[in-house]
Amino acid sequence: MARRWSQKLPGSSEARISRRKVTGYLLATGHPVGGAEARYFESRGFGLEAPEILESALRTIAMDGTVIHEDATEWGRKYVVVGTIDAPDGNPMTVDTVWIVDEGDVPTFVTAYPTRREK
């Protein structure tokens, strides 16, 4: 059963973010699944020429963001973590990130997308 609450991502200081996930998905505007997110991140100033900027922003969300959803999956515990970061365009942006934590392991980054919640 899924739980909703406000907490920090366990093991966030050790979170793993694959460069390939960032460059081959989140910043790949031609990707058939992640292209929409890539175009959004690109519109906010993130790009393939400096993927470490997005990686750093994702790490900031992992460490400082708030868990808004947790659920058990076949791959481990899935956490949705929301956080606000300063985009390279100079404006703040709120992003949902998804992390998997297998038992006894550190969080592994899965995906990110702009937060779309009604206020």
Domain for residue 95, yes or no?
yes
Domain for residue 6, yes or no?
no
Tens digits of per-residue pLDDT, 29-85? 999 998 999 999 999 999 999 999 999 999 999 999 999 999 999 999 999 999 999
For 101, phi then psi, to 5°, come to: -125, 110
Domain for residue 51, yes or no?
yes
| pLDDT, position 6 | 59
- How many CB atoms sit inside 10 A of residue 52's CB? 11
Domain for residue 24, yes or no?
yes
Question: Considering its fold, how many domains does the chain have in total?
Answer: 1
- Concatenate the DSSP letters of all residues of the chain into one string: --B---BPPTTGGG-B--HHHIIIIIT-TT-TTTHHHHHHHHHTT--TT-HHHHHHHHHHHHHHSEEEEEEEETTEEEEEEEEEEE-TTSSEEEEEEEEEE-TTS--EEEEEEE-----
Mean pLDDT (the chain) is: 92
Q: Is the dihedral of CA 21, 86, 53, 77 positive or negative?
A: negative
| pLDDT, position 11 | 94
Domain for residue 4, yes or no?
no
| pLDDT, position 34 | 86
- Kindly report whether the global pTM for this prediction surpasses the value 0.95: no
Domain for residue 7, yes or no?
no
Domain for residue 3, yes or no?
no
- Looking up tokens 């899965």 gives 110
Stretch 78-107: mean pLDDT: 95
Domain for residue 1, yes or no?
no
pLDDT-derived band at 2, boundaries 50, 70, 90: low
The residue range of the domain holding 51 is 12-114
